[in-house]
Amino acid sequence: MGKDDVFRVGNGAGFSGDRVDAPGPVVDTLIERGGPAALFFECLGERTVALAQLEKRRDPARGYEPMLERLLEPVLEKCIRHGIRILGNFGAANPQGAGRVVARLAERLGLGTIRIGVVTGDDVRDRVDLSTLEVYEADVALEASGELVSANVYLDAQPMVAALREGAQVVITGRCGDPSLLLAPLIHHFGWAADDWPRIAVGSAAGHLLECGGQVTGGVYYDPGYKDIPDPANLGFPIAEVSSRGQLVITKAENTGGLVNCQVVKEQLVYEVHDPSQYITPDVTLDFTGVSVREIGRDRVEVLGVRGKPAPERLKATVCFEGGWLGEGEVSVAGPNCLARARSIADVLRQRLRIRKLDVRARVDLIGVASVHDDDRGTLSSGYAGPEPAEVRIRLAASGAREEDVDQAAREVLALLTNGPAGTGGARWRTTRRIRTQSYLVPRSIVDARVRVGTAREMA
């Protein structure tokens, strides 16, 4: 691809909780390579908005990405100086609140004149009647749905494009299509039409590949002795290079660990994809069945053959309800005969829940024997006939509608410290609120996305 023709978009975070020192080397690389570039942060998992909404109930000023300042402070001034626009869904349940935080940060850094764009309108709690909407993809049927916590539609790239056109140097959104965060600056830079499906598809595929940050540079990939990567403690975050004609190369930050090769790009291409001929985003329906990949240099993989079909008529909305409580308790046993002692603990815990008549659904895991691959009945752990483990950690998990019952169940684990078998230690327990989600299809006509752009000084 021609040198003058390339736009680079780097990723600074792939989820809420990502490494806060990752964006620095990405920005340094974007500056060093020269040419037009942008940086995006993806911070919203399916439930993140609901958890943020609960936090906003406790404190109306909050409910946005808690690491926002830690993520932006090291790179904001550099990005502004080099014309690198920043986009992020760190608004969560409170895009205006996040806008204020960025405005104050900018003022503190002597950047009071920068323009900040805030996109709202993803929150459709007051605009939808759930009983009339089609369910999109469900968790298991919602048992006695609790109070509605949040309902957010996945906005497409266009509101962010509007903010960029109004000169926003930092764009803050709540819920939007994750790939839309990378697509928006491409649409703005190249002037692509919203229905230029071949190009919108390439930009969205780039967004899909980069939206989980380190997952396309060696995270969730490396497997010692089989798939090794250099320096995983300093995993470099990814950069997409896209040309006006829609060529796409995936690469990563310089002077960092990790790698970009065909294997890791293929794994991430299919990540969370069901039918590869129908990967739906708010901007386009992607078809990956014609995709091939080739290594064109060190840490450089070209992605070819992405196709696009028209965007879906309706948008996906994720609705979150209060989902009762989850209690968890754990203890450890170790050394000779630890498996027999662990099995005894599992039996005793199940009996205790019955004796106390606690209204909970429960499960006991034997961590070190079978847990994450097991089912609620413990099919794998009870059938285990392998060698005696060196240690076993026993975990009780209990869920229910009443906090009191769930918490009492979890505390049964604690009581084992004096009432359990020999050599039982290391008890931990906690009780947390649960959120349940359900996705619906929402007509685009009910969505009213708003864009507000102003200087940091005006917004602080």
Partner 1 sequence: MKEVLVTVLLHEVAHSRAGDKGNRINLSLFPYDAEAYPLLAEQVTAEKVLALFRHRGATGARRYDLPLLHGFNFVIDEVLEGGVNGSLNLDGHGKTHSFRLLALPVVVPERFTRRR
Cα dist from 329 to 66, 332, 431, whole Å: 27, 11, 9
User: Judged by CB under 8 A, does residue 233 bind partner 1?
Assistant: no
User: Judged by CB under 8 A, does residue 158 bind partner 1?
Assistant: no
With left for phi above 0 and alpha for psi between -120 and 50, is residue 109 left, alpha or beta?
Answer: alpha
From CA 57, how far away is CA 54, in angstroms rounded?
Answer: 5
Which of 306, 398, 416, 447 touches partner 1 (CB under 8 A)?
398
User: Judged by CB under 8 A, does residue 140 bind partner 1?
Assistant: yes
From CA 288, how far away is CA 274, in angstroms rounded?
Answer: 11
Which of 109, 130, 148, 380 touches partner 1 (CB under 8 A)?
380
Tokens 């840490």, residue located: 299
Stretch that binds partner 1, among 90-98, 107-115, 165-173, 220-228 (CB under 8 A): 220-228
**DSSP conformation class of 146:** -
Kindly provide the residue ranges of all beta strands, DSSP E only, lying in 173-313, ordered along the sequence: 238-243, 248-252, 279-280, 285-287, 292-297, 300-304, 307-309
User: Judged by CB under 8 A, does residue 432 bind partner 1?
Assistant: no
User: Judged by CB under 8 A, does residue 61 bind partner 1?
Assistant: no
Residue closer to partner 1, measured from CB, 106 or 369: 369
User: Judged by CB under 8 A, does residue 435 bind partner 1?
Assistant: yes
Q: How many residues bind partner 1 (CB under 8 A)?
A: 55
Q: Are 180 and 157 in contact (CB under 8 A)?
A: yes
Stretch that binds partner 1, among 52-60, 234-242, 347-355, 365-373 (CB under 8 A): 365-373
From CA 418, how far away is CA 414, in angstroms rounded?
Answer: 9
Stretch that binds partner 1, among 22-30, 161-169, 337-345, 360-368 (CB under 8 A): 360-368
- The amino acid that residue 4 corresponds to is D
From CA 326, how far away is CA 339, in angstroms rounded?
Answer: 26
User: Judged by CB under 8 A, does residue 220 bind partner 1?
Assistant: yes
User: Judged by CB under 8 A, does residue 433 bind partner 1?
Assistant: no
User: Judged by CB under 8 A, does residue 281 bind partner 1?
Assistant: no
Burial readout 161-191 (b: 16 or more C-beta within 10 A, e: otherwise): bbbbeeebbbbbbbbbbbbbbbbbbbbbbbe
Count the Cβ atoms, other than its own, within 10 Å of residue 442.
22
Count the Cβ atoms, other than its own, within 10 Å of residue 293.
19
Strand 314-334 with 391-400, pairing: antiparallel
User: Judged by CB under 8 A, does residue 53 bind partner 1?
Assistant: no
Which of 32, 137, 195, 388 touches partner 1 (CB under 8 A)?
137
Which of 100, 175, 307, 363 touches partner 1 (CB under 8 A)?
363
Residue closer to partner 1, measured from CB, 81 or 377: 377
User: Judged by CB under 8 A, does residue 269 bind partner 1?
Assistant: yes
User: Contacts with partner 1 in 29-48 (CB under 8 A)?
Assistant: 46-47
User: Judged by CB under 8 A, does residue 361 bind partner 1?
Assistant: yes
CB of 195 to partner 1, least distance (A): 26
User: Judged by CB under 8 A, does residue 228 bind partner 1?
Assistant: no
From CA 116, how far away is CA 270, in angstroms rounded?
Answer: 34
Residue closer to partner 1, measured from CB, 42 or 95: 42
User: Judged by CB under 8 A, does residue 160 bind partner 1?
Assistant: no
From CA 400, how far away is CA 322, in angstroms rounded?
Answer: 12
User: Judged by CB under 8 A, does residue 144 bind partner 1?
Assistant: no
User: Judged by CB under 8 A, does residue 371 bind partner 1?
Assistant: yes
From CA 400, how far away is CA 323, in angstroms rounded?
Answer: 8
Which of 268, 281, 431, 455 touches partner 1 (CB under 8 A)?
268
Binding site for partner 1 (CB under 8 A): 46-47, 137-140, 220-221, 223, 225-227, 263, 266-276, 288-293, 305, 323, 326, 361-363, 365, 367, 371-376, 379-380, 395, 397-399, 434-437, 439
